[in-house]
Amino acid sequence: MWEAPATREPPAPSIPRELYPKTLDCVHCGLCLPVCPTYRETGRETSSPRGRVYLMRGVAEGRIPLGEVVAEEAQLCLGCRACETACPSGVRFGALLEETRAAVADAGIRGGPGPKLERFLLRELVPKPRRLGAALSLLRVAQQLRLDRLAARLLPAGARHLADGAPRVPSRSQRRPLPSVVPAEGETRGRVGFLVGCVMPEIFGAVNQATVRLLAKNGFEVHVVPGQGCCGALQAHAGQAELARELLDRNVQAFSGEGLDAVVSNSAGCGAFLREAGDHGIAGGEEFAGHVRDVCEFLDAVGMRPPAPERRLRVAYDDPCHLVHGQGVSAAPRRLLQQIPGVELVEHADPTSCCGAAGTYNLTQPEMSAAVLGRKIRSLRDASPDVVVSGNPGCLIQLQRGAREIGWDVQIAHPVELLSG
Ligand code: SF4
Ligand code: SF4
C-alpha cells in the first residue's frame, strides 16, 4: 500500500533532454529490422527502427531538419515497440517516438484533415466521458438505422475509414457504470483499484464487468476510485505530450493514498502508459507505476482460483504490443487460459507482431494499417481457432474488423471473458 504524494512538481519539459543520449544506444546491428511491421511491408531502411533512430539522432544533432521526411516516418511507425524487445542495446524506442511526435506536433508540420480530426477526437471527445458517451449513443442509433454504412461511402478517405471500422456500440445496459466498491468473495486476499478507462466502459462494458467479477471471485475487494479517467496513452502516442501528462497525473492522484495493493488494468495500452508514470516528472508517479498490473499478470502472480467450467474451445492468443513489448507480459495470459478445462491453446505464426490498430493509426495511416492487419488475420485464420483472444480494446476492435472484412466467422474476446465463465 502507498500514500498520496504531498505536493505536485512543476510540469516536465515536453521533450525530455535525457532521451537524446538514448539515440546513441543504437549500435546499428539491425536485429530489430525483421520484427518491424513497417520495414516488413516497405523494405525501406528509413521505415525501420534503425533508420528512424538515425533520423531522430540527426534531428537532435541539427544535421537533419525537422521536416516532412521525419514527420512522415514518425507517423508511419506503429509505436508497437517490437523493436524494443528485439534490441540487445536497450534502445527505448517508444519514448523516443513520443518525443519525436511531440516535436513534430509543436512544429505544426503535419497538414491535412487527418491530424485535425485526430487532435479533436483525442482532446475534445475521448477524455470527456459525457461527450464520448453521447457521441457513441448517436453512433449506436446510426448503426441501428444502417446510416453508418451510408456515411462510410460518402465521407472523405480518413473519416470513411473511421466510420467503416467503427465497433458496434452496445446497448445502454452494457454501458452502465460499475459500483464504486465490489466486495471480495470468500476469504479476502486484498484490495485493488480498477482502471475503468475511456473507451472500455462504452464499447467493452461487458469486459469491464467481467474483470471486476473475476477479481472479486478471486478474493479481491475492487475499488473503482472516483476522479480517475482517460489515462493519456492515446494522446502521448499522438504527440500531445502536455495533455497526456495532465491525464496521467489525474490518475496518479486519484489512485494514490487509497491503501490499495495494486492498480489493475485490463487494457494493455493503458497499463503500459500508467507503468511509465515515473518518467513524466509526476509527483508520486514512480511509486504509483510500481503498483500497476495487467489483470492477467496479477491473477497469475497471486494464483487464480479454479476458473470457469469446462469449455471445449480452440483458443488462439494474440499478444497486444503494449502488453508483450510494453510490459513484458506474455506467458501469464496463456497460463491462465490453459487452466480452463477443455481449452486447447493453439499457437499461430505471428502472435507478437502488431495488428495495425496502434491507437489512432488506422485513422491516420489506413493503407499500412490494412496491410499489417491482413498479415495478422491470415496468420490467425491458419491456426483455425474457435476464439481469438487479446487483452486490449484497440486490438479487439481491429481484429473484429479484420475478421469481418474477410467474412471469417470467429469469436474475438478479451481473456477475462473466458476466465470469468
Ligand atoms: S515501434 Fe514498431 S513500427 Fe515502429 S520502428 Fe519499432 S517495430 Fe517498427
Ligand atoms: S536492434 Fe537496437 S541497436 Fe540494433 S539497430 Fe535496432 S535499435 Fe539499433
For residue range 302-322, list pLDDT tens digits in order: 999 987 788 899 999 999 999
Query: Would you state the pLDDT for residue 107?
Result: 86
* Strand 313-317 with 387-389, pairing: parallel
Average pLDDT over residues 393-412: 95
Q: In percent, how much of the chain has pLDDT > 70? A: 91
Cα→Cα distances 179→57, 176, 183, 261, 298, Å: 49, 9, 10, 19, 21
Tell me the one-letter amino acid at 13: P
Q: Which residue's CA is the nearest one to ligand 2's atom 1?
A: 87
Q: Which residue's CA is the nearest one to ligand 2's atom 6?
A: 32
CA of 237 relative to ligand 2 center, distance in Å: 21
CA of 161 relative to ligand 2 center, distance in Å: 33
Average pLDDT over residues 45-56: 95
Whether the per-residue pLDDT at 386 is higher than 70: the answer is: yes
Report pLDDT digits (tens) over 124-173: 999 999 999 999 888 888 888 877 766 666 666 556 666 667 788 988 88
CA of 74 relative to ligand 1 center, distance in Å: 10
Q: Which atom of ligand 2 is nearest to the CA of 27?
A: 3
Angle at 91 between CA 89 and CA 92, to 5 degrees: 150
CA of 298 relative to ligand 2 center, distance in Å: 31
Beta bridge partners of 66: none
Q: Which residue's CA is the nearest one to ligand 2's atom 4?
A: 29
- Tell whether ligand 2 has an atom less than 6 A from the beta carbon of residue 22: no
Report how far residue 59's alpha carbon sits from residue 61's, in angstroms, rounded to the nearest whole number: 5
Closest ligand to residue 96's CA: 1
Q: Which residue's CA is the nearest one to ligand 1's atom 7?
A: 36
Element (H, E) at 372: helix 366-382
Q: Which atom of ligand 1 is nearest to the CA of 78?
A: 3
Closest ligand to residue 94's CA: 1
Average pLDDT over residues 376-394: 97
- Tell whether ligand 1 has an atom less than 6 A from the beta carbon of residue 49: yes
Residues composing the chain: 421
Report pLDDT digits (tens) over 253-306: 999 988 999 999 999 999 999 999 998 889 999 999 999 999 999 999 999 998
| Dihedrals phi, psi of 4, to nearest 5 degrees | -70, 140
Query: Would you state the pLDDT for residue 2?
Result: 47
Q: Which residue's CA is the nearest one to ligand 2's atom 3?
A: 26
Report pLDDT digits (tens) over 220-262: 999 999 999 999 999 998 889 899 999 999 999 999 988 999 9
104 burial type by CB count under 10 A (0-12 exposed, 13-18 middle, 19+ buried): buried
Mutation test residue for ligand 2: of 35, 83, 93, the one with most atoms within 8 Å of CB? 83
Query: Would you state the pLDDT for residue 23?
Result: 84
Angle at 389 between CA 324 and CA 234, to 5 degrees: 55
Residue 207: all three cell numbers together: 469486459
Closest ligand to residue 91's CA: 2
CA of 123 relative to ligand 1 center, distance in Å: 25
Q: Which of 201, 198, 197 is nearest to 263 (CA)?
A: 197
- Tell whether ligand 2 has an atom less than 6 A from the beta carbon of residue 90: no
Element (H, E) at 154: helix 147-154
Average pLDDT over residues 57-82: 92
Q: Which atom of ligand 2 is nearest to the CA of 89?
A: 3
State the chain's mean pLDDT as an integer.
89
Pick the CATH number of 17-107 from 1.10.1060.10, 3.40.50.620, 1.10.760.10, 3.40.50.11540: 1.10.1060.10
- Tell whether ligand 2 has an atom less than 6 A from the beta carbon of residue 28: yes
Where in the chain are all domains bearing CATH 1.10.1060.10? 17-107
Report how far residue 215's alpha carbon sits from residue 268's, in angstroms, rounded to the nearest whole number: 17
Q: Which atom of ligand 2 is nearest to the CA of 90?
A: 2
Q: Which residues make Cβ contacts (< 8 Å) with residue 39, sequence separation at least 6?
A: 33, 45, 47, 48, 49
CA of 91 relative to ligand 2 center, distance in Å: 7
The fold of the 307-419 domain, in CATH, is Rossmann fold (3.40.50)
Whether the per-residue pLDDT at 397 is higher than 60: the answer is: yes
Whether the per-residue pLDDT at 15 is higher than 90: the answer is: no
- Tell whether ligand 1 has an atom less than 6 A from the beta carbon of residue 394: no
Q: Which of 261, 263, 237, 240 is nearest to 78 (CA)?
A: 237
Task: Identify the three-state secondary structure at position 182.
Answer: strand
Pick the CATH number of 174-301 from 3.30.110, 1.10.10, 3.40.50, 3.40.1800: 3.40.50
pLDDT band at 399 (very low <50, low <70, confident <90, very high): very high
Q: For the chain, how far is it from start to end, CA to CA, in angstroms?
A: 30
Q: Which residue's CA is the nearest one to ligand 2's atom 2?
A: 87
Closest ligand to residue 321's CA: 1
- Tell whether ligand 2 has an atom less than 6 A from the beta carbon of residue 26: yes
CA of 195 relative to ligand 1 center, distance in Å: 27
Radius of gyration of the chain (CA): 21
- Tell whether ligand 2 has an atom less than 6 A from the beta carbon of residue 34: no
Where in the chain are all domains bearing CATH 3.40.50.620? 307-419
- Tell whether ligand 2 has an atom less than 6 A from the beta carbon of residue 53: yes
- Tell whether ligand 1 has an atom less than 6 A from the beta carbon of residue 55: no
Report how far residue 81's alpha carbon sits from residue 234's, in angstroms, rounded to the nearest whole number: 15
Query: Would you state the pLDDT for residue 160?
Result: 62
